[in-house]
Amino acid sequence: MSTGRLAGKVVLVTGTGGGIGRATAQICAREGAHVIGCDLNPGPSQETVELVRATGGRMDAISPVDLATEDGARDWIDQAAGIGGGIDVLVNNASAIRFGAIDALSYQDWSFTIRNELDIVFLVTRAAWPHLVARGGGSIVNIGSISGSRGAWFMPQNAHGAAKGGVLALTRQLVIEGGPHGIRVNAVSPAMTETPHTSPMLADPDGPSEQILSRVPLRKWGQPQDVANAILFLASDEASHVTGANIPVDGGAAVVG
């Protein structure tokens, strides 16, 4: 049920073809936002637009775009601001990862991950900044991860952990720079979330599910909607005095020693 928490707002979401990006688009549109998405993959991106419109929501998307390039990020932001007539909220959600242990991860895979998880947030935010300043303020929500503040037993994720740690550090710095402009900057840090991408691994009886779940106090996987609901709060005016927060959406996993 909508209570219009984002009525009249233009909300940009990156990676709307993926699990959490799609749920974020759906929930923000349900709450009255004009959502403008994008993705590297045009098929799933367009599917999200159709799902949102089928429920009466307002959404446009531009795909394919590669946001991990200067031109790609700038062009998407400028086109989106043109379509929306400005920007109120930016959700930095899109990412792509390559895993590997320190003695196995190639420099190429390290660089790919840093570019598609950390540079992407810098490039998109830098392009959006003047639009948010011109609007007199706004809200940026960066999707971090539990991996940004601790190591993982179940997966060698050097580059991913480093990139997400960088996203959280960048979030803190942007809080300072955004304050005078009325720009709030916050993060949401999920732990394992059940998406089309992660579901096969989580369902694999020989996979790491039991090991991961044993460290989640609530003993269940997060759903994309759980993450999207935290994003919704930070995007909305209900969070008008909240900047610099990092909300864990992890079933309590971050407090387990």
Ligand X SMILES: NC(=O)c1ccc[n+]([C@@H]2O[C@H](COP(=O)([O-])OP(=O)(O)OC[C@H]3O[C@@H](n4cnc5c(N)ncnc54)[C@H](O)[C@@H]3O)[C@@H](O)[C@H]2O)c1
Choice between 133 and 254, CB closer to ligand X: 254
E-strand spans in the chain? 10-13, 34-38, 58-62, 89-92, 138-143, 183-190, 246-249
Task: Figure out which of the listed residues 27, 29, 143, 235 binds ligand X, where binding follows CB under 6 A.
Answer: 143
The residue sitting closest to ligand X, measured at its beta carbon, is: 18
How far is it, in rounded angstroms, from Cα 204 to Cα 254?
24
Residue 63 one-letter amino acid: S
- Contact status: 96 vs ligand X (CB under 6 A): yes
Q: Is residue 18 within 8 Å of residue 195, measured between CB atoms?
A: yes
Strand-pair category, 89-92 with 58-62: unpaired
- Contact status: 220 vs ligand X (CB under 6 A): no
Buried residues in 92-102 as b, exposed as e (16+ CB within 10 A): bbbbebbebee
From 15-23, 27-35, 50-58, 83-91, span contacting ligand X (CB under 6 A)? 15-23
From 18-26, 54-62, 151-159, 211-219, span contacting ligand X (CB under 6 A)? 18-26
From 3-11, 60-68, 79-87, 179-187, span contacting ligand X (CB under 6 A)? 60-68
DSSP character for 116?
I
Residues 155-214 within binding reach of ligand X (CB under 6 A): 190, 192-193, 195, 197-198
Residue 126, by phi and psi: left (phi above 0), alpha (psi -120 to 50) or beta?
A: alpha
Choice between 39 and 88, CB closer to ligand X: 39
From 34-42, 104-112, 150-158, 174-182, span contacting ligand X (CB under 6 A)? 34-42
- Contact status: 68 vs ligand X (CB under 6 A): yes
Instruction: Name the nearest CA neighbour of 80 among 117, 25, 30.
Output: 25
Choice between 7 and 169, CB closer to ligand X: 169
Q: What are phi and psi of 208, to 5 degrees?
A: -90, 10
Per-residue tokens: 127: 């392009």
Task: Figure out which of the listed residues 10, 33, 52, 94 binds ligand X, where binding follows CB under 6 A.
Answer: 94
Task: Figure out which of the listed residues 26, 113, 116, 125 binds ligand X, where binding follows CB under 6 A.
Answer: 116
**Which stretches of the chain bind ligand X, using CB under 6 A?**
15, 17-21, 39-41, 44, 65-68, 93-96, 116, 120, 143, 145, 190, 192-193, 195, 197-198
